[in-house]
Amino acid sequence: MTVVIGSASRPLPGETENGDATFVRVVGDATWFGVIDALGHGPMAALASSLAVMHLNRADLTRTDAAGVVAAVQALHTTLRGTRGVAALLCCLRGETLTCCGVGNVELRRLGAKISAHVTPGVLGGLLARKLVAAVGTMPAGTRVVLFSDGISPKFGVDDVGSGDLDEAAAGLLSRFARVNDDATVLIAEARA
């Protein structure tokens, strides 16, 4: 199973730096991907999201079960202490098994996948309201999932995502559903045989 990713992102109108970021990394036979949304916007938010991506690009992500995904998010939380903090949703696809763990206001919308991502209230690098929990489900070939920051209105439907090019679909969601008062990011992942 392989994963194809498309994404689109933009800073808050009037800003030059984006506090949102996407993350994609292949480790062995697993693909990790996620969306990071730093608190606020501007240079300090961009710094926090950049630190998050740098950490995830260097982290040991060889363990792909639920405990491994939770450990990756917990390590990110520790790394970001002292920053303004981030909301993030991190997913790992290995075979048809999709495992996700998130904190804050980043969401996942599934299109044919049997998973409901559980997002823990709180801020990575700040306060977590509860113990981190991973959601595990299936993502067979042809399935798409959409991860998005709170700069995107959740009012889009399956037809808005379409079945064509992933970057074009992400750009379409960004142009139609981005909020004018925040950074905005969309990542679409599709499993392929």
In this structure, the strands spanning 30-38 and 2-10 are unpaired
pTM of this prediction? 0.95
The pLDDT value given to residue 158: 80
Bin 9: left if φ > 0, else alpha if -120 < ψ < 50, else beta: beta
Sign of CA dihedral 9, 11, 13, 16: negative
d(CA 181, CA 183): 7
Segments forming the whole domain that contains residue 93: 2-192
Q: Domains in the chain: how many in total?
A: 1
Render each residue's pLDDT in the chain as its tens digit; 193 residues.
889 999 999 999 999 999 999 999 999 999 999 999 999 999 999 999 999 999 999 999 999 999 999 999 999 999 999 999 999 999 999 999 999 999 999 999 987 656 667 789 999 999 998 899 999 999 999 999 999 999 999 998 888 888 789 999 999 999 999 999 999 999 999 999 8
* Backbone CA torsion sign across 17, 181, 170, 109: positive
CATH number of the domain encompassing residue 116: 3.60.40.10
Which is nearest to 70 in space by CA: 131, 29, 115, 148?
131
Residue 180: burial class (beta carbons within 10 Å; 0-12, 13-18, 19+): exposed
* pLDDT at 114 (0 to 100): 60
- The pLDDT of residue 83 is 95
- pLDDT reported for residue 113: 58
